[in-house]
């Protein structure tokens, strides 16, 4: 394996300032090249979107819109800011929540306050997001629920079903009939809803690029072969397809698998991240479902225990290998989230080199889309999320306060050029 930029940094540590600066640039170039070291692949497309389309994650739009509309505002300033800036960056779309089951947000933005009981004012928030996205010509990828506790999550559905000792990521969400019935009920209701602002049914709305069955479903507590998760994928995807037959469906998963089959075993087996391939859920198996239209994965190497010196190449492997598996199944691949911490990790220059490389890798491989986590409006403090980036009012894209916006503009311009 090549050393990337890390050897250069150590060698340069004893040289003069001018040589140190030169070596630093060289090390960043090496880091970027390693992150971009992916094989060529034929371009894949998410519907009408160009190959390697840029999307941004902005999960909070429904919540912002619901609160503003409930207060009698004529529009939601944050929604307008984010959509306008996404369009200015050249992003093809945004990935944002299509759910809100949070007990703590009832009367503010919660959509489903009890099983089958919906808050119309909160639903109008999601109506508004769809309507304004169409106005700005920005498409949406919408997860329908969350594995984690944020905004309700799997725990909330297990509690609603009356099962004891519900917990975050509860595996009974995927197997217990009463829980599955409640989730299907919500999906059927939502996708059959007619938008109160534009009169268009959700299952036919032109702003929708795709639906995701769940944000980051994991197989913890399920069978080792991934059969239970695949059965859940088939059943829930069938409900989405019934209500939105012309729209695309993805799983929303992180890309974990049940074995090294189809992946570079020699690369992955030598590090802690090998556990990603013993996950009781299979990217290969889930993506093979005839009811799934695109492969889904995320990438957070710091959270997953990837050693620092292997971060660049791990991203290249993750993108290229998942894209190849999806392509074999005749489907595009969507890297729905990726990110490196803003603090206590790589420097900004190192993160920029890695992001630039992974964006180039995605373009070379021909992924359907790639979506960094996460785009923040100006009013959100920097500490709100450890992966935030901005396009702050009155700044140029390359201003360091924005972190990566110039890189994303470059990537958006490159999309579809192969």
Query: Active-site residue numbers?
Result: 216, 337
Extract the tokens encoding 125. Answer: 């928030």
Within 8 A by CB and 6+ apart from 60, the residues are 78, 96, 97
For residues 47 and 368, give the distance between their C-alpha atoms in angstroms, rounded to a whole number. Answer: 9
The 8-class DSSP code of residue 50 comes to P
- Contact indicator for 356, 30 with CB cutoff of 8 Å: no
Secondary structure of residue 112 in the 3-state scheme: strand
With a CB cutoff of 8 Å and minimum separation 6, the contacts of 13 are 20
How many CB atoms sit inside 10 A of residue 9's CB? 18
User: What would the two tokens of residue 193 be?
Assistant: 């809803």
374 cis-preceded (ω within 30 degrees of 0): yes
Beta strands in 267-384 (DSSP E): 295-299, 333-338, 369-370
Return the number of other C-beta atoms located less than 10 Å from residue 148's C-beta: 15
Q: Please state, in angstroms and rounded to a whole number, the distance separating the CA atoms of residues 129 and 107.
A: 19
Query: Cα–Cα distances in Å, from 185 out to 3, 118, 230?
Result: 52, 12, 20
CB atoms within 10 A of CB 279: 22
The residue whose two tokens read 């391939």 is 277
Look at strands 333-338 and 53-57 and give their pairing. unpaired
Q: Which helix (H) or strand (E) holds 54?
A: strand 53-57
Read off the DSSP letter of residue 35: H
Q: Where are the alpha helices (DSSP H) in 71-152?
A: 77-89, 120-136
Q: How far apart are CA 185 and CA 178, in angstroms?
A: 11
Distance from C-alpha of 224 to C-alpha of 119, rounded to nearest angstrom? 39
Tokens of residue 385, six digits:
């999320």
Q: Is the dihedral of CA 309, 312, 314, 315 positive or negative?
A: positive
């Amino acid at each position: 394996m090549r050393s990337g930029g890390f050897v250069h940094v150590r060698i340069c540590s004893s040289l003069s300032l001018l040589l140190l600066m030169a070596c630093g640039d060289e090390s960043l170039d090496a880091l970027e090249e390693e992150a971009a070291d992916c094989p060529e692949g034929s371009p894949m497309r998410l519907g009408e979107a160009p190959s390697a389309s840029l999307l941004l994650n902005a999960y909070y739009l429904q919540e912002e819109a619901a609160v503003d509309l409930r207060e009698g505002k004529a529009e939601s300033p944050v929604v307008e800011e984010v959509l306008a800036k996404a369009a200015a960056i050249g992003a093809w779309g945004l990935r944002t929540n299509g759910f809100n089951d949070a007990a703590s947000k009832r009367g503010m933005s919660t959509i489903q306050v009890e099983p089958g009981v919906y808050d119309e004012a909160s639903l109008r928030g999601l109506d508004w997001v769809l309507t304004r996205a169409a106005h700005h010509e920005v498409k949406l990828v919408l997860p329908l629920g969350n594995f984690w506790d944020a905004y309700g999550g799997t725990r909330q559905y297990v509690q609603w079903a009356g099962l004891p000792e519900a917990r975050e990521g509860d595996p009974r969400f995927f197997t217990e009939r009463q829980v599955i019935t409640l989730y299907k009920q919500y999906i059927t209701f939502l996708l059959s809803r007619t938008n109160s602002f534009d009169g268009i049914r959700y299952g036919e709305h032109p702003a929708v690029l795709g639906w995701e069955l769940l944000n980051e479903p994991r197989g913890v507590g399920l069978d080792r072969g991934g059969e239970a998760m695949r059965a859940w994928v088939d059943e829930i995807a069938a409900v989405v397809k019934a209500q939105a037959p012309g729209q695309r469906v993805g799983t929303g998963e992180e890309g974990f698998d049940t074995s090294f089959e189809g992946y570079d075993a020699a690369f992955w087996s030598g590090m802690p991240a090998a556990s990603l391939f013993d996950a009781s859920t299979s990217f290969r198996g889930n993506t093979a479902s005839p009811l799934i239209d695109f492969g889904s994965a995320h990438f957070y190497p710091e959270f997953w225990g990837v050693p620092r010196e292997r971060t660049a190449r791990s991203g290249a492997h993750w993108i290229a290998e998942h894209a190849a598996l999806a392509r074999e199944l005749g489907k595009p691949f969507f890297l729905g989230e990726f990110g490196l911490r803003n603090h206590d990790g790589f420097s900004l220059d190192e993160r920029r080199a890695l992001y630039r490389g992974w964006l180039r890798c995605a373009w070379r491989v021909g992924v359907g889309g790639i979506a960094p986590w996460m785009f923040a409006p100006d009013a959100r403090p920097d500490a709100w999320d450890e992966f935030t980036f901005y396009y702050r009012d009155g700044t140029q894209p390359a201003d360091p306060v924005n972190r990566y916006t110039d890189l994303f503009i470059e990537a958006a311009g490159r999309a579809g050029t192969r």
